[in-house]
Amino acid sequence: MSENERVGQSSQTMQGTNWAPANALIKLEDFSAYYGTLEVLKHINLGIEEKKITVFMGPSGCGKSTLVRTLNRMNDTVSGFRTEGKVLLDGEDIYAPTVDPVLLKLRVGMVFQKPNPFPISIYDNVAFGPKIHKMTKNRSEMDTIVKESLQKAALWEEVKDRLGKSAWGLSGGQQQRLCIARAIALKPEVLLMDEPASALDPGSTSKVEELMVELKDNYTVVLVTHNMQQAARVGTNVAFLYKGDLVEFGPADEVFENPKSELTEKYIRGTL
Amino acid sequence: MQALCVAAVVAVLIPLGDMLYKFTYRGIQIISIPRLVNNPLATTPGIGNMIEGSFILLAISAAIAIPLGVLGGIYMAEFSTGGRFTEGLRFAADVLAGVPSIVLGYVCFLALVTFLNFGYSPMAAGISLAIIMFPYIFRTTEIAIARVPQSIREGAIALGSTKTIMINKLVFRFAFPGILTGILLALGISLSETAPLLYTANFANYAPTSLFHSQLGYLTGVIYLFYTSNLPQYVQLAYLATFLLIMIVLALNVVARVGLKRFSKV
């Protein structure tokens, strides 16, 4: 970022954004996003550490959901959306004209706030991604993928005897774990989770949180949450956003125990 | 207030019930295999050719209106950008649905029977019925597809699905009950038309011999023409045709409703 661009930014927002993780799979370089003329993300620089959980948190409207959706180009379909700067996945800018947004989604999967299983069987839900991308040669290979994905999502034991039943017959927590299984069936490198537990009861929430911690062994997880306790429980690194600015970014224990920015401290205390 | 509402419902149900009873009673009295198979000029006059004619017209009109209506509805719901063209199309379809069928019939007479020289024919009649059916299928398809939750579309896109796959494998499947209901109701409307068929198929006691330049009979024509006959046998055939039409349209509506309820429990 040039000095000219820093002029006008308060020293509060600048202080906490100099840290970068050692092993970043995704790097945002001077990344800005606009809905029409409205700038919703402002010159974001941050790195998503590989096989860790990076948390985006902040008050409503801070841009955290927009930010996570730019990582798999889900915002492409929104009319008037445009970007500046780079989002590098393994060194390659995902917004380059040569990049196929469909193939990007094989590498960067997503789980949404409200569980959205398809109105088909549990098996067909998990098999949907591998099927449309022709990842298997025969039924037994698909059976293996479905079983492994459901096992990794801690759902296999609960549904193994009713794979042919409609996914809409599952409880909310089960549906969300099914959506996680569906996403990881494509074996992505990154898993984006946009407030995945906010629509669930506390019991299901803790199951999903346990799952997230297990998932980071195999996937790089980006979690959006407005639940600070959840962020502290599961996050490795935490980014605090405020009105489109990246205010603070660092290891979770440092951000929560020793925030560098006054805004961050106010948010953590609940006085923002 | 409640008494008034109940009275209004009863006032509608009584003549409906009376009509259903009368025609069911008379229809059952006369129904037999010869009546359903023979032509009106046989020793035991029947309406076999008219039943055949109605189903030929249903097949032709459905073959035209269903693909056009469903694909048009999918276009409107999934691919159109919402500008003036889209609004214009929607408006045109709504206007078309409101045009009196006799007017459409006369336009088809001028355009198809005369100008394009189809003659009175199954093709001209089938096309006129397709024009009548089209707006119903078009609009119910669009509405059924628009009702598919956006979350399902997002879920598919997030898995790297293209729009085509998303529509074919998920959206269409979810919207199918609504689309089917629209189709079944349009088929019922098609079977119930008389005026446009008088202009495009005329009427004949025999089955059609070709798609062009061949008049044909149809059930609604039997009711229109035979009811005022001096010969009681033909009046009875009019009752039979009425009974058959009521039963078929009733069956279509029941299937549409039951199908919609059952599939909505997904």
Whether residues B161 and A132 touch (CB distance < 8 A) is answered with: yes
Chain A environment of B161 (Cβ under 8 Å)? 102, 128, 132
Q: What is the pLDDT of residue A186?
A: 96
Whether residues B158 and A72 touch (CB distance < 8 A) is answered with: yes
Cβ contact B233:B45 at 8 Å: yes
Angle between helices A202-215 and A172-184 (to 10 degrees): 20
In a domain? residue B21: no
User: What's the complex ipTM?
Assistant: 0.88
Tokens 């249903």, residue?
B58
Cβ contact B181:B261 at 8 Å: no
Cβ contact A216:A231 at 8 Å: no
- The answer, yes or no, to whether residue A195 has pLDDT greater than 90, is yes
Angle between helices B101-108 and B122-146 (to 10 degrees): 130
Q: How far is CA A164 from CA A137, A167, B45, in A?
A: 21, 9, 54
- The two three-digit tokens of residue A172, written as one number: 């909310």
Mean pLDDT of B221-243: 91
- The two three-digit tokens of residue B195, written as one number: 């005026």
Q: What is the pLDDT of residue A17?
A: 67
Residue-number span of the structural domain to which B103 is assigned: 48-263
Q: What is the pLDDT of residue A6?
A: 44
Q: What is the pLDDT of residue A149?
A: 95
Q: Report which of A245, A249, A261, A239 is spatially closest to residue A44, judged by C-alpha positions.
A: A245
Nearest-5° Cα angle at A120, A115 to A125: 60
Chain A environment of B151 (Cβ under 8 Å)? 112, 114, 116
Q: What tens digit of pLDDT does each residue of B135-178 get?
A: 999 999 999 999 999 999 999 999 999 999 999 999 988 899 88
- The answer, yes or no, to whether residue A8 has pLDDT greater than 60, is no
In a domain? residue A62: yes
- The answer, yes or no, to whether residue A12 has pLDDT greater than 50, is no
Tokens 């119903």, residue?
B136
- The answer, yes or no, to whether residue A11 has pLDDT greater than 50, is no
Cβ contact A26:A47 at 8 Å: yes
Q: Which one is predicted more confidently, B29 or B105?
A: B105
Give the chain A residue nearest B150 (alpha carbons): A116
Q: What is the pLDDT of residue B263?
A: 63
- The answer, yes or no, to whether residue A224 has pLDDT greater than 80, is yes
Mean pLDDT of A28-45: 93
- In this prediction, what percent of chain A has a pLDDT beyond 90? 76
In a domain? residue B76: yes
**Mean pLDDT of the residues in chain B:** 91
Q: What is the pLDDT of residue B23?
A: 85
Q: What is the pLDDT of residue A4?
A: 40
In a domain? residue A47: yes
| Chain A nearest C-alpha distance from B79 (Å) | 12
We report the CATH number of the domain holding residue B127 as 1.10.3720.10
Interface of A with B (CB under 8 A): 72, 74, 77, 102-106, 109-110, 112, 114, 116-120, 128-129, 132-133, 166, 168, 179, 182-183, 186
Tokens 């306790």, residue?
A229
Q: Which one is predicted more confidently, A179 or A15?
A: A179
In a domain? residue B3: no
- The shortest CB-CB distance from B152 to any of A74, A110, A116 is to A116
- The shortest CB-CB distance from B155 to any of A103, A118, A186 is to A118
Q: What is the pLDDT of residue B41?
A: 87
Looking at A15-24, A59-68, B30-39, which range is the least confident one? A15-24
Tell me, yes or no, if B154 comes closer than 8 A to chain A by beta carbon. yes
- The answer, yes or no, to whether residue A1 has pLDDT greater than 50, is no
Q: What tens digit of pLDDT does each residue of A88-129 get?
A: 999 999 999 999 999 999 999 999 999 999 999 999 999 999
Give the chain B residue nearest A119 (alpha carbons): B266
Q: Which one is predicted more confidently, B216 or B31?
A: B216
Cα separation, B47 vs B103, whole angstroms: 28
Cα separation, B188 vs B252, whole angstroms: 7
Chain A environment of B164 (Cβ under 8 Å)? none
Q: What tens digit of pLDDT does each residue of B87-145 get?
A: 999 999 999 999 999 999 999 999 999 999 999 999 999 999 999 999 999 999 999 99
In a domain? residue A73: yes
User: How many A/B residue pairs have CB atoms within 8 Å?
Assistant: 61
Tell me, yes or no, if B151 comes closer than 8 A to chain A by beta carbon. yes
Mean pLDDT of B46-72: 95
Q: B265 pLDDT band (50/70/90 cuts)?
A: low
- The answer, yes or no, to whether residue B47 has pLDDT greater than 80, is yes
Residue-number span of the structural domain to which A50 is assigned: 3-117+188-269
Whether residues B158 and A166 touch (CB distance < 8 A) is answered with: no
Give rounded-to-5 percent helix, strand, coil for chain A: 40, 25, 35
Q: B21 pLDDT band (50/70/90 cuts)?
A: confident
Chain B environment of A195 (Cβ under 8 Å)? none
Q: A21 pLDDT band (50/70/90 cuts)?
A: confident
Q: What is the pLDDT of residue B34?
A: 87
Q: A241 pLDDT band (50/70/90 cuts)?
A: very high
For residue B95, the tally of other CB atoms under 10 A from its CB is 10
Give the chain B residue nearest A186 (alpha carbons): B159
In a domain? residue A39: yes
- The shortest CB-CB distance from A74 to any of B152, B157, B161 is to B157
The beta strand positions in chain A, using DSSP E, are 24-35, 38-49, 53-57, 81-89, 92-93, 108-111, 190-194, 220-224, 237-242, 245-251
- The two three-digit tokens of residue B132, written as one number: 């009548």
In a domain? residue B196: yes
Cβ contact A111:A176 at 8 Å: yes
Q: What strand order describes the sheet that includes A81-89?
A: A38-49, A24-35, A81-89, A92-93
Tell me, yes or no, if B80 comes closer than 8 A to chain A by beta carbon. no
Cα separation, B52 vs B128, whole angstroms: 18
Number of domains in chain A: 1
The DSSP code sequence of A128-179 is HHHHHTT--SSHHHHHHHHHHHHHHTT-HHHHTT-TTSBGGGS-HHHHHHHH
Number of domains in chain B: 1
Chain B environment of A69 (Cβ under 8 Å)? none
In a domain? residue B113: yes
- The answer, yes or no, to whether residue A202 has pLDDT greater than 50, is yes
**Non-local CB neighbours of B154 within 8 Å, separated by 6+ positions:** A74, A112, A116
Cα separation, A60 vs B49, whole angstroms: 70
Q: How far is CA A160 from the centre of its chain?
A: 28
We report the CATH number of the domain holding residue A107 as 3.40.50.300
